[in-house]
Structure 1
Amino acid sequence: MDERKRDSMIAYLRHRMDDFGISPDDLASFLATRPAGPDMGRYRSAGGDTWSGEGETPQWLKQAISAGQSIRHFELPWAALTEPATRSDADWKDDPFAGSPLARSNHR
């Protein structure tokens, strides 16, 4: 990225931070609480075990859920930042695949 684009991006981010009342200290504090590394996990147990949310649910989480604990209790605060946006206003009544095996497929 050239210097001009970088400076423009910084100006834009500072403006948006001001719009939302986010100070550089707020941002630094948040980033300091995030663990480093490519797989930070999405859920964490009290013992420090983590799970990304993909693949088989780990035993510690299965046990907690079966004991009545909500999975959201274990969700890390930054996990919501990585969730894809969902459309709640989708109208499925005219979906040509509704009820078909394709609609029930778990493949993405």
Structure 2
Amino acid sequence: MDERKRDSMVAYLRRRMAEVGIEPDDLAAAIAEDQLKQKTARYRSATGEIWSGDGEMPQWLKQAISAGQSLEHFAVEHAAPAAPAMTETRTKVDWSQDPFAGSRLAAAQPSHRDT
């Protein structure tokens, strides 16, 4: 994603958060809560549904297994790779499949930018 698209996305998200009354602290708390849930998850679907392995197997997993998928396919690997150190320069990423490319969102200009 080029810098202009990134700035447009950030501006759009900030406007939407302000419109619905979401504060950055609310967002940070929600992300932290999700991360705690993710750590206890033993199985995860492609849509983000999780199961700890305790209690009754959820319907999404029952259906997948009935369709022939293995339980191991949904197993969560807890050994996540270490995050790379932050650098001053951004790494280049191929965003050719950007879902916002060509949309109003990608074309929106930030209302202001600090220099």
TM-score (ref. length: structure 1): 0.39
Whichever of the two has the greater Rg, that structure is: 1
Q: Which structure is richer in relative contact order (CA contacts within 8 A, separation 6 or more)?
A: 2
TM-score (ref. length: structure 2): 0.37
